[in-house]
Amino acid sequence: MDFPKKLLIPQKTIFEIGSVSRLAEESLEYGPRGLVVHGNSLEKDGKKERILAHFSSSARVGCFLRAGGEPTLTEIEAVIRKARSARVQWIAGIGGGSTIDLAKAAAGLYNAKEKPVFYQEGGRLVRKGIPFIAVPTTAGTGSEATINSVIINEDKRVKLSIRDESFLARKVILDAGLLKWMPLTPMSYAAMDAFVQAYESYISKNTTWLSENLALKAIDLINRNILPAYESGSEENLSSLLLASYLAGIALASSRLGVIHGIAHPLGVLHDLPHGLICSVCFIPSIKLNRGVIGKKYEIINKILGEDLKDRIEKLLNSLNINSPFKGKRSLEKEKVIEDTLASGSTAANPRRIERGDVEFMLKELF
Ligand SMILES: [Fe+2]
């Protein structure tokens, strides 16, 4: 298949160093009242003030500072409350994947009649939300290019998507200047998440010519820039990672992912560990599981990398100092992890049909 049956991509993508200064002109198109959802990183060195200084005095722009961690249903409700009380006309998310997911869901559910949990459980969204603008400050999740928000349901202790086509960002601002101050550890986790996403969407069962080519470009960019970015963090390296993450996001939006993302969600909730870290350490087990069925694709990836994929990932994890956080620990609620992994939409896209024994194999490799 050359082209996905349906392709949803943001209306406008700006890819330029310093382009965050254009948030004001780009968002005011939707009205003078807006809400900027952001994380702690924007609080430092006057970054937030510099961005907000571009808004005219007639604009009414509020801010919602996130506490950190991965977004929950309760947090979406808090953002929606704040947005509704100011009658905002748009919401922007400036931050990592969690912040983008949170802002996206809040904008998407701004006019919704029911609570967010209703939509997470598959309820239909009738009244669509307000425009959402995504400004990623990490190169990782690709959330700026997708229609879903991954949200923790605290009561059920699951991490599930809320999705609707109307959630897609109207505009995306890719400004690698925002990545410069990022601490090395989260930067490496995020970049490895992007690598995993590119790999899983490339080998996915639902792949198309379009998603394969975007994913391969992302693999090439990440492979060439991840270590230089980790070591020196030049703007060019960071721009390449940011672009790769965005391209992988577009690829996965139509191809979906694979067993790594299927198992990463339950493990992330139960062990309270960063998503990118879990994805990183699931990479090798997934290669071992899938290698026999992906045949030629494995060789194509090797050609791009200039070496064997498994060897390359082992070396990268070593250079980035990423080790399994599970080694020596007890595997918590194994039955729940297996059930959630088998029920996951990501697992369903894995090229090899995943059975119970395959999830058990992955857990054995990780713990
Ligand atoms: Fe991911």
Q: Indicate the residue type of 261.
A: H
State how far the alpha carbon of 140 is from the alpha carbons of 144, 199, 253, 299, in Å. 10, 13, 14, 25
**CA 84 to centroid of ligand 1, rounded, Å:** 30
**CA 362 to centroid of ligand 1, rounded, Å:** 17
**CA 107 to centroid of ligand 1, rounded, Å:** 22
DSSP 51-85: HHTTS-TT-EEEEEE--SSS-BHHHHHHHHHHHHH
**CA 241 to centroid of ligand 1, rounded, Å:** 14
At the fourth CATH level, the homologous superfamily of domain 183-366 is Dehydroquinate synthase-like - alpha domain (1.20.1090.10)
181: confidence class by pLDDT, cuts 50, 70, 90: confident
Distance between CA atoms of 348 and 358, rounded to whole angstroms?
13
pLDDT value at residue 280 = 98
pLDDT value at residue 182 = 84
| For range 206-221, the mean pLDDT | 97
**CA 276 to centroid of ligand 1, rounded, Å:** 6
State how far the alpha carbon of 339 is from the alpha carbons of 4, 156, 225, 263, in Å. 29, 14, 37, 10
Q: Where in the chain is the domain with CATH 1.20.1090.10?
A: 183-366
Among 227, 60, 253, 58, which Cα is nearest to 161's?
253
CB contact burial 262-272 (16+ within 10 A = b; e otherwise): bbbbbbbbbbe
Distance between CA atoms of 97 and 134, rounded to whole angstroms?
10
**CA 277 to centroid of ligand 1, rounded, Å:** 10
Residue 203 has pLDDT above 90, yes or no: yes
pLDDT value at residue 166 = 98
Residue 138 has pLDDT above 80, yes or no: yes
**CA 54 to centroid of ligand 1, rounded, Å:** 33
Number of helical (H) and strand (E) elements in the chain, helices listed first: 14, 8
Residue 1 has pLDDT above 80, yes or no: no
DSSP 8-state code for residue 41? G
Residue 294 has pLDDT above 80, yes or no: yes
**CA 139 to centroid of ligand 1, rounded, Å:** 11
Q: Residue with structure tokens 């968002």? A: 27
* Cβ neighbours, 10 Å, residue 48: 17
What is the crossing angle of helices 97-108 and 73-85, to 10°?
60
Q: Where in the chain is the domain with CATH 3.40.50.1970?
A: 12-177
pTM: 0.96
Q: Residue with structure tokens 């693999």? A: 219
| For range 60-66, the mean pLDDT | 97
**CA 30 to centroid of ligand 1, rounded, Å:** 30
Q: In this predicted model, what pLDDT tens digit does every residue of 280-291 receive, in sequence order?
A: 999 999 999 999
Tell me if 367 sits within 8 A of 327, measured CB to CB.
yes
Q: Residue with structure tokens 């949803």? A: 8
**CA 32 to centroid of ligand 1, rounded, Å:** 34
**CA 181 to centroid of ligand 1, rounded, Å:** 22
pLDDT value at residue 353 = 98
**CA 50 to centroid of ligand 1, rounded, Å:** 30
**CA 192 to centroid of ligand 1, rounded, Å:** 9
Distance between CA atoms of 198 and 214, rounded to whole angstroms?
8
pLDDT value at residue 23 = 98
Q: Dig out the tokens for 27 from the structure.
A: 């968002």
Distance between CA atoms of 136 and 242, rounded to whole angstroms?
8
Q: In this predicted model, what pLDDT tens digit does every residue of 299-338 receive, in sequence order?
A: 999 999 999 999 999 999 999 999 999 998 988 899 999 9
- Considering the domain 12-177, what is its CATH architecture? 3-Layer(aba) Sandwich (3.40)
Q: In this predicted model, what pLDDT tens digit does every residue of 84-125 receive, in sequence order?
A: 999 999 999 999 999 999 999 999 999 999 999 999 999 999
pLDDT value at residue 117 = 97
Q: In this predicted model, what pLDDT tens digit does every residue of 15-55 receive, in sequence order?
A: 999 999 999 999 999 999 999 999 988 998 899 999 999 99
Region for 156 from its dihedrals, namely left if φ exceeds 0, alpha if ψ lies in -120 to 50, beta otherwise: alpha
**CA 261 to centroid of ligand 1, rounded, Å:** 6
